[in-house]
């Protein structure tokens, strides 16, 4: 049996013993967010993929951390991140133009080639770079992701190391996305160091202030959703899906 797009992606991006956090966000109901921590090997298994596809058919959007989390983690806060493995760039608004500009800079040698480009819906893309293991602190990674977002018109909220990104092979149920099934393409991008992004301009003070305010709004939204979820009956995340295996 051919491997699913999500399973192929997971096996490419993670070691089998790595732990990742999975997030299911409901778009069609007021049920709570589903969050699980498991080994990458478990996530790639057919039965886990079938359960996630069932959630997806129920109207949940399916996400996965791009960085590994600690085996003991039960959430995906910054302190739960085991190691910075990747940088991400979310090209949502005017995504084609941002991707065109990025490709031009890669061709000119200004920034390294990415490892993966996902298309999350029409004209919207998510770009990932591998990092040299142990070479990046969370602060250094977040500063570089902010510069990437500024340079290519990316979402400046999607610049934290605990961020989840969409899993390939699952439908995008966000309003206006028309159930687009997320695809991914693998590139030959190297493992990167901070010096590889030195050509990117530094963010100005106004940009930094906007990013801080955007992160504060996101934290408030997440706190509201956690409160709402705690006031509702527990939702079984997916029958038989382990928290860690």
Which residue segments constitute the domains of the chain, with CATH numbers given? Answer: 5-230 (3.30.70.1790)
pLDDT at 226: 46
Lowest mean pLDDT: which of 3-12, 132-141, 182-191, 200-209?
A: 200-209
pLDDT at 54: 96
For residue 60, what are the β-bridge partners?
Answer: 26
| First CA to last CA distance, the chain | 23
CA distances from 201 to 13, 150, 157, 206 (A): 28, 8, 18, 14
CA distances from 101 to 26, 107, 142, 176 (A): 33, 10, 21, 25
Residue 101: CB partners within 8 Å, gap ≥ 6? Answer: 151, 152, 153
pLDDT at 217: 57
DSSP run (H or E) holding 97: helix 95-107
Residue 218's pLDDT band (boundaries 50, 70, 90)? low
Quote the crossing angle between the two packed helices 205-230 and 138-152, to the nearest 10°. 110
pLDDT at 196: 97
Average pLDDT, the chain: 86
The proportion of the chain whose per-residue pLDDT surpasses 90, expressed as a percent, equals 73
Alpha carbons 108 and 59: distance in angstroms, whole number: 42
Lowest mean pLDDT: which of 25-34, 75-84, 155-164, 233-242?
A: 233-242
Considering only residues 243 and 227, tell me which one the structure prediction assigns the higher pLDDT: 227
Strand stretches in 74-220, DSSP E: 81-83, 86-91, 116-121, 124-130, 164-166, 171-172, 180-181, 183-186
């Amino acid at each position: 049996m051919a491997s699913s797009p999500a399973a192929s992606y997971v096996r490419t991006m993670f070691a089998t013993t790595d732990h990742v956090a999975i997030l299911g966000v409901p778009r069609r109901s007021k049920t709570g967010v589903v969050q699980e921590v498991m080994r990458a090997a478990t996530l790639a298994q057919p039965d886990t993929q079938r359960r996630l596809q069932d959630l997806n058919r129920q109207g949940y959007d399916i996400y996965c951390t791009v960085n590994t989390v600690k085996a003991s983690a039960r959430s995906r806060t910054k302190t739960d991140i085991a190691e910075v493995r990747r940088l991400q760039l979310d090209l949502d608004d005017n995504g084609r133009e941002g991707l065109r500009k990025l490709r031009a800079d890669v061709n000119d040698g200004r920034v390294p080639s990415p490892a993966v480009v996902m298309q999350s819906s029409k004209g919207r893309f998510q770009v990932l770079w591998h990092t040299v293991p142990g070479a990046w602190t969370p602060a250094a990674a977040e500063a570089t992701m902010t510069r990437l977002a500024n340079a290519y018109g990316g979402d400046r909220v999607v610049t934290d190391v605990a961020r989840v990104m969409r899993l390939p092979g699952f439908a995008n149920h966000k309003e206006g996305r028309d159930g687009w099934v997320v695809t991914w393409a693998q590139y030959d991008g190297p493992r990167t160091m901070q010096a590889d992004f030195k050509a990117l301009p530094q963010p100005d003070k106004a940009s930094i202030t906007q990013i801080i305010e955007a992160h504060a709004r996101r934290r408030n939204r997440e706190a509201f959703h956690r409160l709402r979820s705690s006031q509702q009956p527990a939702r079984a995340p997916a029958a038989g899906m382990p928290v860690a295996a």
